[in-house]
């Protein structure tokens, strides 16, 4: 499936992903004390979990070669769509939002978008906002939606644009930014909000890196299950 593109990442750059460490390291802090067991929503609004993560990587390693010239970012007719999806992620407080113009590098897609959520509910909300705005503003629906927040990675495949909503641990593991470092990055400075130290979620919505790494390794589609 196209969603494999996320890790096409790794193949495209011939990189071997390095598993994140299992030791905890808190990266999110608030003025409130982080309490007890993190609660996760059940039922409606959750994206179904896919199979093994390896299934999401298929199709990347044999991505077709480029056979024709592609328009630059500023000339690409998909740019308004890409900006709208990035804005949707930002409005749900998605962070580290980046869009890569990969058309000159692969035929798998024209753009790849990556965004991080800092809680499982937030990752679900970001993914839902992307799908909703695509339908409302452009009357487009995804070809496929794979993965889910519990696995740390939701891949939303529109065919020519692929959106990856990831936890920090998953984004580090799959090294998406390094994989597409040779792609032109879309300027989103007028689209997404600047990030700052005070831009945090409520106490009950936060997870620290210990939670993130624990869930990364315990997920049904964890790398150990490949």
Per-residue pLDDT in tens (0 to 9) along the chain, 226 residues? 555 554 454 444 444 445 444 433 333 332 333 333 333 333 334 444 444 445 555 444 444 455 456 678 888 999 999 999 999 999 999 999 999 999 988 888 999 999 999 888 889 999 999 999 999 999 999 999 998 878 888 999 999 999 999 988 888 888 888 888 889 999 999 999 886 544 444 444 444 445 555 555 455 455 544 4
**Residue-level length of the chain:** 226
Q: What is the pLDDT of residue 1?
A: 54
Distance CA 118, CA 140 (A): 27
214's CB contacts (< 8 A; 6+ apart) are: 24
Asked if 26 and 66 count as a contact pair (C-beta separation under 8 A), the reply is: no
Cα angle, residue 213 at apex, residues 27 and 196 outer, rounded to 5°: 25
The domains of the chain, with CATH numbers, are 2-13+47-65+76-195+204-225 (3.30.460.10)
The pLDDT, as a whole number, for residue 157 is: 95
The number of beta carbons lying within 10 Å of the beta carbon of residue 217 is 16
* Residues 78, 163: Cα–Cα separation, whole Å: 13
Instruction: Report how far residue 152's alpha carbon sits from residue 33's, in angstroms, rounded to the nearest whole number.
Output: 24
């Amino acid at each position: 499936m196209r969603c494999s593109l996320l890790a096409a990442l790794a193949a495209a750059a011939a990189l071997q992903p390095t598993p994140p460490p299992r030791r905890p390291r808190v990266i999110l802090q608030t003025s409130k004390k982080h309490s007890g067991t993190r609660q996760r929503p059940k039922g409606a609004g959750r994206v179904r979990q896919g199979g093994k993560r390896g299934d999401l990587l298929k199709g990347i390693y044999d991505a077709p070669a480029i056979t024709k010239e592609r328009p630059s970012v500023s000339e690409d007719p998909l740019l308004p769509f890409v900006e709208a999806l990035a804005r949707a992620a930002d409005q749900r407080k998605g962070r580290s939002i980046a869009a890569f113009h990969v058309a000159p590098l692969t035929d798998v897609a024209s753009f790849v978008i990556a965004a991080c959520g800092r809680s499982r509910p937030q990752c679900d909300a970001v993914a839902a906002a992307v799908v909703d705005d695509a339908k409302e503003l452009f009357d487009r629906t995804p070809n496929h939606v794979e993965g889910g927040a519990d696995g740390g990675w939701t891949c939303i495949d529109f065919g020519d644009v692929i959106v990856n909503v990831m936890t920090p641990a998953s984004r580090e593991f799959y090294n998406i930014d390094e994989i597409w470092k040779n792609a032109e990055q879309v300027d989103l400075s007028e689209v997404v909000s600047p990030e700052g130290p005070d831009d945090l979620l409520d106490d009950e919505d936060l997870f620290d890196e210990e939670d993130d790494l624990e869930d990364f390794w315990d997920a049904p589609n964890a790398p150990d299950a490949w």
